[in-house]
Amino acid sequence: MGSLPSLGVLEVLRRSCGEGLPPLERFRAAADSELSGAEPLPGNGYKVTLVRNLIVAVLGELAELHSVRNEGTA
């Protein structure tokens, strides 16, 4: 958790797009994949859940923003 994040989230999202999963499930899968190797320090285990939920929320907001922005161009 102390190092810079990899592009794992983006890669999982790319791979899961063809699986027909709802967006939030894709975002959860991407976050889980990215955090699978997390080794929190004692007393900090809750932070992994916080980061997972933050990743899912931000990706959801970005997807919604992208959708709204593209509605006017269709």
Span 10-68, pLDDT tens digits: 666 666 665 666 678 888 888 898 899 999 999 999 999 999 999 999 888 887 776 77
Instruction: Give the list of residues 6+ apart from residue 55 with CB closer than 8 angstroms, or none.
Output: 9, 27, 30, 31, 34, 35
Widest CA span of the chain, in angstroms?
A: 51
Number of Cβ within 10 Å of residue 60's Cβ equals 14
pTM (2 decimals)? 0.68
Per-residue model confidence (pLDDT) at position 45: 93
List the chain domain ranges: 8-71
Per-residue model confidence (pLDDT) at position 1: 45
